[in-house]
Amino acid sequence: MSEVKVPELAESITEGTISEWLKSVGDQVEKGENIVELETDKVNVEVISEVAGVLTEIKAEEGDTVEVGSVIAVVSDGEAQPASNDAKPEKQEEPSKEDAGKPEAKEAKEAKEAKEETASSNERIQATPSARRLAREKGIDLSKVKTQAGDVIRPEDVESAAKPQPQAKPAEKSQPAQAKSNDNPSKPVVREKLSRRRQTIAKKLLEVSNNTAMLTTFNEVDMTNVMELRKRKKEKFQEDHNGTRLGFMSFFTKAAVAALKKYPDVNAEIDGTDLVLKQFYDIGIAVSTEEGLVVPIVKDCDKKNFAEIEQDIVDLAVKAKDKKLGLDDMMGGSFTITNGGVFGSLMSTPIINGTQAAILGMHSIVTRPIAIDKDRMENRPMMYIALSYDHRIIDGKQAVGFLKTIKDLIENPEDLLLES
């Protein structure tokens, strides 16, 4: 017998929430096979079985909060027993000859046999542990429950089956109109519990707002030259780097690294009464998912070329959308870039990520008339950029200089290549 425990997650994470059991009681599991998914403050983590055997006990239901090191399941040696209609039922006490003929005894025996048949049938049906428990509580036959999505019965399917089906009512005489009861409010609402991830996002954002002196400065970038360079080089770039596409994020990431080297306070954080100046360049790239914003980290951006950065961003974005990010993908960033432009944002004031000193915000590229000199106007592809920063660490002069460095490098991408 082997106990399945909540593994060590990360230094700052002490608990998680059972998101989904991937196995049910009685299922065969292999060594190293995923049996349950945990949702933590940062990522979803799949817990494996350390041994091969049968999942014989589940100690925490979906939605329960569990601490690191706590036992959440038990896997026993052996193999799962296949369900069989030929299996002999346990020997039951037979009614006496005198009672056998009585209607009450006959009905009791039939009810017992029906109950055993239903229980056996339910064991063969795919359902989550919480759905099975709810079905037992409500006396619902799982074989009569319809699933709303997929083949596995979930608690909401049981709840739906438990609701009484509407029946046609006989016609009634018309009654005077009455005020609607509170059961049918004219202003309906839906109350949902925040996911653990959303609760964490809310908590962290509020902490940043309350614990930093945050300020935002803006500038605008003429994207003409970098767009022309990308247009000329993108096909050759993709051909030389196994299909990796040349996007704008690698340009801004490289520009950010150059600016961080020039203004090291932007790559710092406060720890008590100390200023910690980071001499590494791990850049967080904000990615939107169904469960909220996550910020995976592209490590060592100062040591990577454009293709490596672009590929890392693509890989992390795919992992984020597939809920496959690991804790290592989320830890240790020194600076963050967020691109609201992909959603059509023209301008915003991004919120600093965690204990970092600043965050760079990119926005939509919009063609606007720009004065080239006092006599000429041209339509140019322009982007507003923003730097939100902690004024306790960074002065306005540094913030403006940092953003101006980003602007100059993007508008002159050949200089950016030299910086790399």
* Calpha distance 328→316 (Å, rounded): 11
Per residue, the 3-state secondary structure of 324-363, as one string, reads CCCHHHCCCCCEEEEEHHHHCCCCCCCCCCCCCCEEEEEC
Among all chains, which residue has been given the structure tokens 């944002």?
Answer: 345
> Which is catalytic among the residues 64, 77, 315, 391?
391
> Which is catalytic among the residues 271, 363, 395, 408?
395
Which long-range CB contacts under 8 A does 312-319 form with residues at least 24 apart?
Answer: 313/247, 313/249, 313/250, 313/285, 314/244, 314/245, 316/285, 316/287, 317/285, 317/287
User: Which H or E element spans position 155?
Assistant: helix 155-162
Position 166: which residue type?
P
CB of 2 closer than 8 Å to CB of 51: yes
- C-alpha gyration radius of the chain: 31
The two three-digit tokens of residue 166, written as one number: 């509407």
User: Which H or E element spans position 382?
Assistant: strand 377-390
Of 366, 321, 358, residue with least CA distance to 341: 366
The two three-digit tokens of residue 177, written as one number: 């109109």
* Calpha distance 412→224 (Å, rounded): 10
Position 211: which residue type?
N
CB of 253 closer than 8 Å to CB of 246: no
* Calpha distance 193→64 (Å, rounded): 13
Q: Provide the 3-class DSSP secondary structure of residue 35.
A: strand
The verdict on whether 391 is a catalytic residue reads yes
The verdict on whether 363 is a catalytic residue reads no
Order the strands of the 65-67 sheet from edge to edge.
44-48, 34-39, 15-21, 65-67
Q: How many CB atoms lie within 10 A of CB 189?
A: 5
Q: What are the residue numbers of the active site?
A: 391, 395
